Chains A and B, each alone.
Chain A
Amino acid sequence: MTVFIIRRLSQSLLVLFITSIIVFAGIYAIGNPIDILIAPDATFAEREQAIKALGLDQSLIEQYGTFLWNALHGDLGRSFVFNQPSIDLILNRMPATLELAFVALFLSLAIGIPLGLWSGLRPNSVLDETVMTGSILGFSLPNFWQGMMLIMIFSVWLGWLPSTGRGEVDTVLGMRTSLTSWSGISHLILPAFNLALFKISLVTRLTRSGVRENMPLDFVKFARAKGLSERRIVSVHVLKNIMIPIVTVVGVEFGGIIAFAIVTETIFAWPGMGKLLIDSIMRLDRPVVVAYLLVVVTLFIVINFVVDILYSLLDPRIRLGSAA
C-alpha cells in the first residue's frame, strides 16, 4: 500500500509538471490577452502600461520560470482579468460545482441502478424495451439541447422551476449550499437533471448488461440452491459483482462532471467553475486556465485513487500494491 501511494504520488507530480508546460505554452501560442482585455479606445501608452503590468513583456521562458518559481511557493499567479489569486477564483466557485456534481451523481445512481436492475431482470419485456429506448435518447440528444428543452418546458411553459442562477444559499459547516431551502433546491433541480441525464442512461445500461451477464453464472445458481431469496441474491451478491465496472466508469465521469460541466453551467447560469474555465480560455486569462487544469488533474488523480481503493473493498482479490 505504501509503495503504491509513493509511486502514485511521484507519477502525479510528473503529470502536473507536464500539464503546466503544455497549457502554459498552448495559451501563449493562441494569442496575446492584451488584444482582448484592452479598452476599445485605448492609447499606446495604456497598452504598454497594461502589457508591463501583466508581465507580458517578458519572453515565454521567463514567464514560465516566474510561474514555476511562484507555484513551488504555493502561488499560482493572479488572474489577468480579475486581478485576484487564480486559485481563490477557482475555490470560490468550486462549492457550487461540487454541489451540482454530487446531486447529479446521486440522481444518476439512484435512478440508473434500479432502472438497470429492473430491465436486466426482465430482458426483452416491454419495460426493458422502453428503458433501453429511453436511454438511447439520454445518450444521443445533445446536452445543450436537453437543457434548453428543460427550460422551455419547466420554466417557460409550465412555470414550475426557475431557469437561471443559484437561488438562496446558506452556509452549513463552512460550505455554501443551496440544499437547505426550497428556493435553492428549486434552482438546482433543472441543471442537476440536465447534467445527470447522460449519466443515468450510462449507469442504466451498465447495470443492465452486468445483471444479464451475472444472472446465469454459477454463484447465482448456488445461492438459489442454498435457498436465498431472489431479493437478497440480486441486491447483495449480483449487485456487488457488477459494481466494479460501474465504479470505474462513474469515477471517471464524476471527474468530468466536476471539471467540465461547462454546457450545463452556461445554460443555467450556474456560478460554477466550468463557466470560469470557458470564460478564461476565451479571454486568454492564462493564470486561471493553468491553475484550473492543475486543480482538475489533481482532482482526477484523487478520484482514481479513491476508485482503486473502492475496487479492493468491492473485490478482496484485488491488491493495491500490484494494481499500479
Chain B
Amino acid sequence: MNSTSRLKRLGLVASTAIFIAMSPALAADITLGSSTEPSSLDPQFSRTGNNQNVAAQIFDRLIEPDPNLQVTPALAESWTNVDPTTWRVKLRPGVVFQDGSPLTTEDVIYSLERAKDIPNSPAPFSGNVGAIASMKAVDPLTIEFKTKSPTPEFIEQIGLVYIVQKKLAEGKSIEAFNDRSAAIGTGAYKVKEWVPGDHITLVRNDKFWGKKPAFDTVTIKFIANDAARVAALRSGSVDLIDAVPPGDVKTLEKTKGIKLSSIASARNIYLALDSSRDESPFVVGADGKPLNPNPLKDQRVRQALSKLINRQLIVDRLLDGAGEPAGQLVPVGIGGSDPSLKPTAPDVAGAKKLLADAGFPQGFGITLHTSNDRFAGDAETAQAIGQMFAQGGLKVNGVVAQPYNVYATAAGKQTFSAFIFSLGNTTPTSATGLRNLLMTQNKEAGTGSFNRTKYSNPAFDAKMKEAMAEFDVEKRVALLKEATKIAIDDVGFVPLFWPKVYWASKDNITYTANRGEDFMATLAGQAQ
C-alpha cells in the first residue's frame, strides 16, 4: 500500500512537472514592457521610433530593415532601376489586409501620396516620398515610378513608408486610426485595444503573408520609468522589456530566470566642435574673452581634442561597458562603415604637441555643454571629457548640463562651442547621416539639416555628392567610405561611442537584438 501511494504521488509530481515544463510553450501570449508609447495609430503620423515600434507590427512597408538595418523585401517582392529616373516595383502577390481585402497597387500609390501631407505631423514621411515625380500602375502588381532627379537610394526612401488601406483611410483624419477603424494593415498583428498611457493589445493576424507570428496575443504595457520597468520584469508582470538601463545590466544578468540580448546601436554619440566661426562664445583666452581666431578652426586643435579623449575608459567606467568606442559615424554592418577607421587612441603627449604646433602651448579656456536626460551617461560623459581636456593643459571653465528640451533648441542656434549630441542612424548606409550631419548647410539642396556647427568641407561635399548620385551599390559604399575618411581626417565631428542597447526577458522568451533599437513582438520568439 505504501509503495502504491508513493507511486501515485510520484506520478502526480511527474505530471505536474510535465505540465510546468510545457506551460511556456502552451501559453502563446506575451506581455511587453515598453519604455515608449506611440502618439497615434496612424503609421504615417510620426516617423519617430515611438510610433514605428507599434506601426511596424500592424502595417508593412515595401521593404523591411533587418537587424543591421539592411534592406529585405517586404510588400515589394522586387524592384528594378530601368533608367536613372525610372523605377519599377513589383508587389508581393496574394497579400491581403487584416479585413480580407487584397493589397493593390492603388493602396500603395495612395499611401505614398498620402505621406506627403499628413495634417499637423511633427515628423512626417514627406522626405521619403519627396523624390517621386509620378507613379502609375503598369499591371495589377507593378508600379512604375518617375523620380524628379536620379535617386539611387529611391527604394530605401519610399520603402520605409507604411502602406495603409485606401478605402479605409481616404478622407479620414487621425481619429479614424486611433479608434482602430482605419488601423487595419497587412502586418503580423491586429490591434484589439489601445488605452493611451496604459497598454495596447494586439492579436495574431492569421492572414499574414510572412512567417507566422510567435504569439496569439501581445500586450504592450507602457512603463516609461526605468526602475519600474525593470521591477515589472522581475515581478513577472511583463515577459520582455526594452531600454534596460546600463546600471541594471549586471544585476539582471545574475538574476535567475532572466536573460539579456544586446547590440551596439547605430546611434552615434559625438562631440560637436564649433569649427566654422572666427569667434566661438565658449572658447576663451586668459582674459575670459572669446579668442579670435577661434582655435577650433584649426584641424590640429580638433585632432588634439580627439586624442585627449579616452573612449574606452568612458565606456568601461561610466557606462559599465554598455557601449562601443567609435571612430566614425556608423558601426560595422552598416553600408559605408570603414573597418580601417579605428577609434582615435588616447595620446596626451601627441595632443599637447599638436596644440603647441597650432600655437596654443598653454592651451585655452573651454566650456563643454551637454544634455542630462537624453541618453544614459550623457552628463557624466561630458564631465569626464572635461577632465580629460584639463589633463591636456586646457582650462576647462565648466561643464554645463541641461535638460534636453532646453538643450536641443539652444544647440541648434550655435549657442555652444563644444557640445555632446547624438545622431540616430535608421538607414542601410551612412549616406543620410553624413548628409545631415556634415555636409554644408543648404536648404535648397536639403543637406546639413543637423549640421549644428555649420561645418563645411568642399572635398567632403564633393565626395558625398558623387556617392549620392552613384547607382551601383558597391561603388556607392566605397565612395561613402572615402567621404567618411575625409571627414574623420579633418575632424568634422568627434565620434565618441555607439551605446549598447539591451533587452531583458524571461528565460523562455528570445529576442532579436537590432541596431535600430526596435522593440516589437515580431522580433520576439519562444525559446525551445
**Is B222 at the interface (CB under 8 A from chain A)?**
yes
A44-78 near B? 1/0 per residue, CB < 8 Å: 11110110011000000000000000000000001
Which residues of chain A have C-beta atoms less than 8 A from B436's C-beta? 41-43
Which residues of chain B have C-beta atoms less than 8 A from A84's C-beta? 174-175, 178
**Is B127 at the interface (CB under 8 A from chain A)?**
yes
A188-215 near B? 1/0 per residue, CB < 8 Å: 0000000000000000000000000000
Q: Using a Cβ–Cβ cut-off of 8 Å, how many residues does chain B contribute to the interface with A?
A: 60
Q: Taking the nearest CB of chain A, how far is it from the CB of B435, in angstroms?
A: 9
Interface residues of A in 229-267 (CB under 8 A from B): 266-267
CB <8 Å contact, B234 and A156: yes
Which residues of chain A have C-beta atoms less than 8 A from B276's C-beta? none
Of the listed stretches B98-106, B161-169, B190-198, B494-502, name the one at the interface; the rest are far from the partner chain.
Answer: B190-198
**A37-B48, A40-B423, A44-B443 given as contacts; is B197 within 8 A of A271 (CB)?**
yes
Which residues of chain A have C-beta atoms less than 8 A from B175's C-beta? 84
Q: Taking the nearest CB of chain B, how far is it from the CB of A35, in angstroms?
A: 4
CB <8 Å contact, A283 and B405: yes
Of the listed stretches A6-14, A107-115, A274-282, A297-305, name the one at the interface; the rest are far from the partner chain.
Answer: A274-282
Interface residues of B in 394-426 (CB under 8 A from A): 403-410, 412, 423-426
Interface residues of A in 91-145 (CB under 8 A from B): 92-93, 96
Which residues of chain B have C-beta atoms less than 8 A from A47's C-beta? 449
Q: Taking the nearest CB of chain A, how far is it from the CB of B35, in angstroms?
A: 11
A152-169 near B? 1/0 per residue, CB < 8 Å: 100110010011111001
Residue on A with the closest CB to B234?
A156
Please measure, in the bound complex, the distance between the C-alpha atom of A169 and the C-alpha atom of B403, giving whole angstroms: 36
**A162-B237, A275-B197 given as contacts; is B122 within 8 A of A45 (CB)?**
no
Which residues of chain B have C-beta atoms less than 8 A from A162's C-beta? 235, 237
Residue positions of B touching A, CB distance < 8 A: 33, 39-40, 45-49, 119-124, 126-127, 130, 174-175, 178, 195-199, 221-225, 227-228, 231-232, 234-238, 373, 403-410, 412, 423-427, 432-433, 436, 443, 446, 449
Please measure, in the bound complex, the distance between the C-alpha atom of A169 and the C-alpha atom of B446, giving whole angstroms: 49
**Is A18 at the interface (CB under 8 A from chain B)?**
no
Residue on A with the closest CB to B228?
A267
Which residues of chain B have C-beta atoms less than 8 A from A35's C-beta? 408-409, 412
Which residues of chain B have C-beta atoms less than 8 A from A271's C-beta? 195-198, 222
CB <8 Å contact, A163 and B405: no
Please measure, in the bound complex, the distance between the C-alpha atom of A38 and the C-alpha atom of B407, giving whole angstroms: 15
Which residues of chain A have C-beta atoms less than 8 A from B235's C-beta? 151, 155-156, 159, 162-163
**Is A39 at the interface (CB under 8 A from chain B)?**
yes
Which residues of chain B have C-beta atoms less than 8 A from A34's C-beta? 122
Which residues of chain B have C-beta atoms less than 8 A from A45's C-beta? 126-127, 130, 446
Which of B130, B199, B404, B443 interacts with A36 by CB under 8 Å?
Answer: B404
Q: List 9 A-B contacts (CB under 8 A).
A: A30-B406, A31-B409, A43-B130, A45-B446, A80-B120, A81-B122, A155-B231, A164-B223, A275-B224
Which residues of chain B have C-beta atoms less than 8 A from A266's C-beta? 224-225, 228
Which of B406, B423, B425 interacts with A31 by CB under 8 Å?
Answer: B406
CB <8 Å contact, A39 and B48: yes
**A35-B408, A92-B196 given as contacts; is B120 within 8 A of A269 (CB)?**
no
Please measure, in the bound complex, the distance between the C-alpha atom of A161 and the C-alpha atom of B237, giving whole angstroms: 10
CB <8 Å contact, A164 and B232: yes
Which of A36, A83, A163, A282 interacts with B119 by CB under 8 Å?
Answer: A83
Q: Taking the nearest CB of chain B, how far is it from the CB of A319, in angstroms?
A: 44
Which residues of chain B have C-beta atoms less than 8 A from A44's C-beta? 443, 446, 449
Q: Taking the nearest CB of chain A, how far is it from the CB of B480, in angstroms?
A: 15
Which of A53, A268, A282 interacts with B228 by CB under 8 Å?
Answer: A268
Q: Taking the nearest CB of chain A, how far is it from the CB of B366, in angstroms?
A: 24
Which residues of chain B have C-beta atoms less than 8 A from A15's C-beta? none
Q: Taking the nearest CB of chain B, how far is it from the CB of A255, in angstroms?
A: 21
Residue on A with the closest CB to B433?
A41
Interface residues of A in 20-34 (CB under 8 A from B): 30-34
Q: Majority SS of interface residues in chain B?
A: loop
Which of B121, B127, B222 interacts with A53 by CB under 8 Å?
Answer: B121
CB <8 Å contact, A156 and B408: no
CB <8 Å contact, B238 and A164: yes
Q: Taking the nearest CB of chain A, how far is it from the CB of B248, in angstroms?
A: 13
* Given contact pairs A50-B123, A155-B235, A156-B231, a sample of 20 additional A-B residue pairs in the complex whose CB atoms are under 8 Å apart: A31-B407, A36-B405, A36-B408, A37-B122, A38-B123, A41-B424, A41-B432, A42-B436, A53-B122, A148-B231, A151-B235, A155-B231, A156-B234, A164-B232, A169-B195, A266-B225, A266-B228, A267-B227, A269-B222, A272-B197
Q: Taking the nearest CB of chain B, how far is it from the CB of A226, in angstroms?
A: 56
Please measure, in the bound complex, the distance between the C-alpha atom of A271 and the C-alpha atom of B199, giving whole angstroms: 9
Which of A31, A33, A281 interacts with B122 by CB under 8 Å?
Answer: A33
Residue on B with the closest CB to A144?
B227
Please measure, in the bound complex, the distance between the C-alpha atom of A270 and the C-alpha atom of B403, giving whole angstroms: 24
**A266-B225, A271-B197 given as contacts; is B424 within 8 A of A40 (CB)?**
yes
**Is A82 at the interface (CB under 8 A from chain B)?**
yes
CB <8 Å contact, A41 and B426: yes
**Is A290 at the interface (CB under 8 A from chain B)?**
no
Residue on B with the closest CB to A29?
B406
Residue on B with the closest CB to A162?
B237
Please measure, in the bound complex, the distance between the C-alpha atom of A117 and the C-alpha atom of B39, giving whole angstroms: 49
Counting chain B CB atoms within 10 Å of each CB, which of A49, A81, A165, A276 scores highest?
A: A165
Counting chain B CB atoms within 10 Å of each CB, which of A36, A44, A269, A282 scores highest?
A: A269
Q: Taking the nearest CB of chain A, how far is it from the CB of B495, in angstroms?
A: 16
Please measure, in the bound complex, the distance between the C-alpha atom of A53 and the C-alpha atom of B118, giving whole angstroms: 9
Which of B127, B228, B406 interacts with A46 by CB under 8 Å?
Answer: B127
Residue on B with the closest CB to A83?
B120
**Is A87 at the interface (CB under 8 A from chain B)?**
no
Q: Taking the nearest CB of chain A, how far is it from the CB of B170, in angstroms?
A: 18
Q: Taking the nearest CB of chain A, how far is it from the CB of B25, in angstroms?
A: 23
Q: Taking the nearest CB of chain A, how far is it from the CB of B148, in angstroms?
A: 12
**Is A291 at the interface (CB under 8 A from chain B)?**
no
Nearest 3 pairs of A and B residues by beta carbon: A271-B197, A31-B409, A40-B424
Please measure, in the bound complex, the distance between the C-alpha atom of A4 and the C-alpha atom of B43, giving whole angstroms: 52
Counting chain B CB atoms within 10 Å of each CB, which of A44, A155, A272 scores highest?
A: A44
Q: Taking the nearest CB of chain A, how far is it from the CB of B374, in angstroms?
A: 10
CB <8 Å contact, A163 and B198: no
Please measure, in the bound complex, the distance between the C-alpha atom of A92 and the C-alpha atom of B178, giving whole angstroms: 13
Which residues of chain B have C-beta atoms less than 8 A from A80's C-beta? 120, 122
Which residues of chain A have C-beta atoms less than 8 A from B446's C-beta? 43-45
Please measure, in the bound complex, the distance between the C-alpha atom of A45 and the C-alpha atom of B116, giving whole angstroms: 11
